Structure 1
Amino acid sequence: MFKIISVSFLQILLIVNTFALSHFDSAPGEFYLYLDSIQSALRYMKSNIEDVNLDAYFGVLLAKVHLENIDMKDMELEDTVNLAKQVLITRKNKVNLKNSSYLQNIEKYIMNEKKWKSIISKRKALKCNIKKEISYLNLDRIRLRKSLLSFDTAPNEMESDICLSEIIVTNKVHGKNKYCPSSKMCYDVMIIGQSKGYSKTHRLLYFIIGQIEGCFKCGGTKTNLAINNLCCGIMAEASAIEESGFALEFKDLFMEQLTLCAVIGYMEVLKPQWIASINDWQRLEGCWGHYYNRIRRSSTSLGPANCSSHSTGLGISTLAMAAVKMLD
């Protein structure tokens, strides 16, 4: 009645391997193009490890945890992940925490791989459900620069550092899933404040860490709603930057916008044409150049090509998340 089919262990193994690799066989060419770009950047970083600052470290860490999340066997992918590991291990061993106490708190947190793995493992695909700040599209380049790159918007660099440190430290005191109190200054500039450009992305990072730590409810408004409002505004700004023809001074901000919105789940920011542009900005040496960055600490030069440690970290993380999205 039934025909017994004899299948050897070798045949089963071949079938399993064929199934595992089929996903990569159908992967678009851009997937490997972006892996190659990431590898080139990582090799440049490895050769100039003394110049790799915390921002670059964070970009490599985000790339690593995203690429490791791909449940497939592929030599090119494994090589990329291994290179990222080498950069992270080498740089971590050279860390010398002589900064202020709040910068030490931030550095230790950012370098905690488990924190970022946890948010990625729980992440859901999110979409912007409101349209805000469309008026950005009507601004010329000069007015757009004044709006997005102003030094007068809050939070500034020091306020961002203090408030990020505050939420990290208070969570240790009050415990996970408890209300994390904030100072009046942080409440004003982070929770109820209005912001643009880098100030907006720094507020987003504040809420992302708050979400990881199960903190505040934003004075009655849920954290995910605050994040949605921020990413909707960020996407409007990113569209305006595209309309400017990706003017040089906006490139670093643009990559920061895409990285932070994507890491929390707004993968719609990883538009193919936007990612292709970021890949095109990569220099032959493998790094990304200095553009315009109002954050003084992040303006560290990377290697003899006079590239930006901050921008190169963002380029790596953005390409890695885009590569992962291609396989979804």
Structure 2
Amino acid sequence: MFGLFKKAPQDISPSPSPSWLGRLKAGLRGSRDKLQQGLSGLFGRKLDDQWFETLEETLILADVGVSTSRRLIHALQQEARRQRIEEGNALKPLLKGELMALLRPLERSLSPPPAEGPQVILFVGVNGAGKTTSIGKLAQYFLNQDKKVLLAAGDTFRAAAVAQLVAWGERHHVPVITQEKGDSAAVIFDAIQAARARGIDIVLADTAGRLPTQLHLMDEIRKVKRVVTKADPTAPHEILLVLDANTGQNALTQVKAFDDALQLTGLIITKLDGTARGGVIAAIAGERPIPVCFLGVGEGPEDLDIFSADAYVDALIE
């Protein structure tokens, strides 16, 4: 078993540590309580059309999404008929099983590093999603795997973001590439060149927050990707969208927009401890199944860890 701060190969299935499972369950309390309110008394009743309608409404209100909720309900109805189930209690483990099966395809470890040069990981997302904080936490993750890390302060729109990343760099004793003047693409290009010269293993590149509706800024992030490829034809090796779980169904809109623009390789979902909308991961799995690489349930470095579908569903449904 391993958590964020235990060394592990990057190509094995996630196996959360007991300490992380406890933090995950505590972090999902809001989402779990909201779901339990809708499910209260439901599993003690006999199955009928109203039972399934109530369950569908509960899933939709938990931000599982309309189409994904209907998909789950259809699967449960078929299984209930096949097994001749008449009591709601017998469907609770089946619901958990269907959710786990839906979410397991989202499990994915980060890609292995390239044979030569640094592994370049580009972080994108809207303002306030937690990109810079996630970079700081992942810097510690890679340092604990004995990797040499370099940070690129590519959010050139906010001086506070640069200062925050520099503070993370000082805390972890890793170099940070910044520019007083210049755009995001130039900063990240310089960071890749510096990493190659210094024998760095991992480049974690921040970018400015942007809404998918800000078309000129979406064009700019495409430019960043093109410039990264000029610095290293194999890069970026990961493009991670950082999502604030509080945005609920809007998170799915962000996934679709950023994936269309950049071909995302993975997601980091943050702030699950401050929301009752944790069901949105199921909506993502049902409509745009981009892998979820990490979950965040708090501010501490230990509050970010690898996504496990089974652990997540266990924490969401008691």
TM-score range, shorter chain: under 0.3
Bigger helix share: 1
TM-score (ref. length: structure 2): 0.26
Bigger strand share: 2
